[in-house]
Chain A
Amino acid sequence: MASGVNRQPFGLRLLTYGFIVVWLIAAAFPFLWTFWGSFKVELDFFSIADWTNAIFGRRTEMTYGTPFTMAGYEGAWVQGEFWRSVINTGIVCFFVVCSSLTIGTLGGYALSRSGYRYTFWLLIIALIFRAMPPITLVSGYMLPFFEWNVWGILPTTIIVLVAINQPFTLWMLHSFFQNIPKELDESARVDGCTQFQAFRHVIVPVMWPGVITTGLFSFLLAYNDFAVTSMLLNEENRTMVPAIAAFLGSTYNEGQIMFAVAAVVSATAPLFFLVMFFQRQIVAGLTQGAVKG
C-alpha cells in the first residue's frame, strides 16, 4: 500500500486513527483499570462518592496510609489459599499440554500420511466433537465418576480436558503435517529407515512450529476452562478459575470482592506475557485453518 497513488485522503486517515484509538481503549482499558484498582480498598474500587477516588485511592490512603495496598493480594493468596489453585492450574496445564501434544502429533501424523477413507470420517467426527459444549460432556462423565469414586481429583479432570481438547489438536496438527511434503519421509524410507525412524529423524526436527502453536492453544483451553474444572474438582483441588468464582460465591464480607479482583489480576498476568511472547504463533494458529479453508 506504499504507492503514492493509493495514499489515503486526510479525512479517512483521521477516521482510521480515531477508530483505532477507540478500539484500543475498549480492548485494553478494562484490564488497566482492574489492575490499577486491585491495589485499592473496595470503597475505592467501587466508589459511590466520587469516581476519581478509584484513581487516587483516597479511602485506601485513609485506611492504610498509602494509596496502594497489597491487602487484596494478601487476602487472596494467603487467606484464600489461592496459591493452592495456582499450583493445581500448573499441574493441570502441564499434563494436559503434554498428553494432548503426544497423542496429537502421533495421531495427526498418522492421519496425514494415510490415504484411507476412514481418515476423513475421523476428522469429521473430530469436528463435531469440537463443536460440542464441554458442559454437555461433563454431565456424561459425572455419574460414572461418582460410581467409580474418582470424582474430585486432578488426574480424571486432566483426562477429561485432554479428551475435550483432542479433536482440536488432531485437526491442527493434521493440517500442519499435510503441509510437510511427503517426499521428506519417503526419501528417508528409501534410505532404509523404518516408518518410525523416518518420523523420529526427519519429521520431528521440522515439526516444532506447528507443535508449539498447538501447544499454546491446548494451554489456553486448559487454563481458561471453567465448566469442566468447576464441576469435576473438589474444593482442595480447584484450579484458578473456579477458585475465583468461589471467592464471589461465598458469603459476602467486607473486602471479599477485592480478593476476587486481586485473584483475577494474578490469573490474567501469565496470559498477558503469553500473548506478548507468542503473539506470532497465536496469530498463525488462529489464521491457519481459515486461510486455507
Chain B
Amino acid sequence: MLLFIAAPIVSVVLQSLHTPHGAVLVEVETCTPLSGCILETTIDQEATRELREAEPLGRLVGLDIYLDRGHLAFAEVAEAWRQSDDLGEFWTSLMNLPFYRAMAFTLTFTFIVTPLMVILGLVIAFAVNSLHRHLKGLVIFFSLLPFTVTPLIGSLILFWMIDSRGILGDALVYLVGDPSFSLKASTGLMWVSLIVYGVWHAAPFAFVVFYAGLQTLPMEQIEAARIDGATRWQQVRYVVVPHLMPLVTFVALIQLMDNFRVFEPIVGFSAEAHATSLSWIIFNDLGGETRQFSAAATSSVLTIIGVTILLSPVLVRTWRDFRDKK
C-alpha cells in the first residue's frame, strides 16, 4: 500500500516541480562564398534527445508552475485586484482563471450538496422506518439504486432526461412556456442540475446509515419522554435527533470528502463550459494529444492539500479516540 500510493504521490510532487525540456537550440553559421555568412538557429535533435533521456522528468522549475496562470496565478490575481473598482468586477476577472473557477464550483457543490443530502437522507429514513415491515425491503432496494450505479452512468441517465428533448427537459419547457428554454444553456441552471444530481446520488448513503441508526433507538428514553408529555415532534427533536447526531457528523464528513472530488457528473453532463472541478482539470490536462504532466501534477498536489484540510477534523477526532482507548 505504501509503495503503490505513497510512491505516486511522491512522483506527483516531483513532476509538479518540473517542466518538459525545451528543444536544444544551436546556432550554426553557414558560410557560402557568394552570399556571405548566415546565422541559422536549428534544433539539435541529438542533444535534445540526450537531454531528455538524461533527465526524463524535465527541467527543475521549483514553484513556477504553481504560480502560473493555470494554477494559483498570484500575479494575475494581484493584477485583477489592482484594476477592478469593486468586488464584483474583481470576482469576474477571478472567474476567468481556471483554477479559481474550478475551486468556486467545487466548493459550492460540496457545501450545498452535503447538507441537502443529509436532510433528504434523514427524511427518507424517518419515512421508511414508519412503513410496514414487508414494504421496507422493496423500498430500500429501489433507494439503493442511485447510489450503487456507476456515477458516470447515473449522470448520463439524468442528463438524457433533462435534455431539452428528453422528458424532464420537455416538461420544464412546458412549465416555463419558452420553447428555447434549455438547462444546458445557462451556467446557473447547469450548476443546479449538477447539484440535484449530487443529492440524488448521495442521499441513499445517508438514508441507509440513518436508517441503521434508527434501529438502535433507545426505546426507554422515548417512552420516558412520552410519559413526560412530549409531543411527537418533541420526541424527535430531543431524543431521536441527538441519538443520530454522531451519524450525521460521520455522513457529513465522508460526503465532504467525496463531493470535493466531484468529477464524473461533469463529464456525464458535458458541463465543462459551465462548471469545472479540480479533478476535471487534472483529467483534462492528462488526456488529449498534449499530455501536460506537470500541469496535472500541480493541480493534483493542490487537490491533495485541499483534501487534507477538509480531512483534518476527522484526523483529530480519530487521534482523540485512539488516545482515549489507551
* Interface residues of A, Cβ cutoff 8 Å to B: 1, 5-6, 8, 12-13, 16, 19-20, 23-24, 26-28, 30-31, 33-34, 37, 45-48, 51, 54, 103, 107, 120, 124-129, 131-133, 135-144, 147, 159-160, 162-164, 166-167, 170, 220, 223-224, 226-227, 230-231, 241, 244-245, 248, 260-261, 264, 267-268, 271-272, 274-276, 279, 282-283, 286-287, 289-291, 293
B153 contacts chain A at the CB level, 8 A cutoff: yes
For residue B205, which residue of chain A has the nearest CB?
Answer: A286
Give the chain A neighbours of B150 by CB distance below 8 A: 223-224, 226, 241, 267-268, 271
Q: Is B11 a contact of A144 with CB atoms below 8 Å?
A: yes
Contact of B153 among A51, A127, A164, A241 (CB under 8 A): A241
B109 contacts chain A at the CB level, 8 A cutoff: no
Q: Is A133 a contact of B4 with CB atoms below 8 Å?
A: no
* Bound Cα distance from A31 to B157, whole angstroms: 7
Asked, given contacts A20-B128, A245-B152, A287-B212, whether A170 binds B161 with beta carbons under 8 Å apart, the answer is no
* Bound Cα distance from A19 to B130, whole angstroms: 12
For chain B, the count of residues having a C-beta within 8 Å of the partner chain is 94
* Interface residues of B, Cβ cutoff 8 Å to A: 1-2, 4-5, 7-12, 15, 56-57, 123-124, 126-131, 137, 139-146, 148-154, 156-158, 160-161, 163, 165-167, 170-171, 200, 204-205, 208-209, 212-213, 216, 226, 232, 246-247, 250-251, 257, 260-261, 263-264, 267, 270, 278-279, 282-283, 285-287, 291, 293, 296-297, 299-301, 303-304, 307-308, 310-311, 314-315, 318-319, 322
Q: Is A231 a contact of B161 with CB atoms below 8 Å?
A: no
Having A124-B318, A136-B303, A160-B4, one finds 8 other A-B pairs with CB under 8 Å, namely A16-B131, A34-B157, A51-B170, A136-B12, A138-B282, A264-B153, A268-B150, A289-B250
The interface residues of chain B, by DSSP majority, are classed as helix
Give the A-B contact count at a CB cut-off of 8 A. Answer: 243
Q: B220 → chain A, closest Cβ, in Å?
A: 13
The interface residues of chain A, by DSSP majority, are classed as helix
Contact of A5 among B56, B156, B226, B287 (CB under 8 A): B226
Asked, given contacts A142-B291, A275-B144, A286-B208, whether A268 binds B170 with beta carbons under 8 Å apart, the answer is no
Q: Is B209 a contact of A287 with CB atoms below 8 Å?
A: yes
Contact of A136 among B154, B257, B304 (CB under 8 A): B304
- Of the A-B pairs whose beta carbons lie under 8 Å apart in the complex, a sample of 7, sorted by A's number, is A127-B314, A129-B1, A133-B261, A133-B278, A136-B9, A143-B11, A224-B152
Q: Is B8 a contact of A137 with CB atoms below 8 Å?
A: yes
* Bound Cα distance from A261 to B148, whole angstroms: 18
* Bound Cα distance from A286 to B270, whole angstroms: 30
Give the chain A neighbours of B145 by CB distance below 8 A: 27-28, 31, 272, 275
Give the chain B neighbours of A131 by CB distance below 8 A: 257, 307, 310-311
Q: A219 → chain B, closest Cβ, in Å?
A: 10
Q: Is B283 a contact of A8 with CB atoms below 8 Å?
A: no
Q: Is A30 a contact of B158 with CB atoms below 8 Å?
A: yes
Q: Is A227 a contact of B304 with CB atoms below 8 Å?
A: no
Q: Is A143 a contact of B9 with CB atoms below 8 Å?
A: no
Minimum-distance CB pairs A-B, first 5: A140-B8, A163-B4, A133-B261, A46-B165, A136-B300
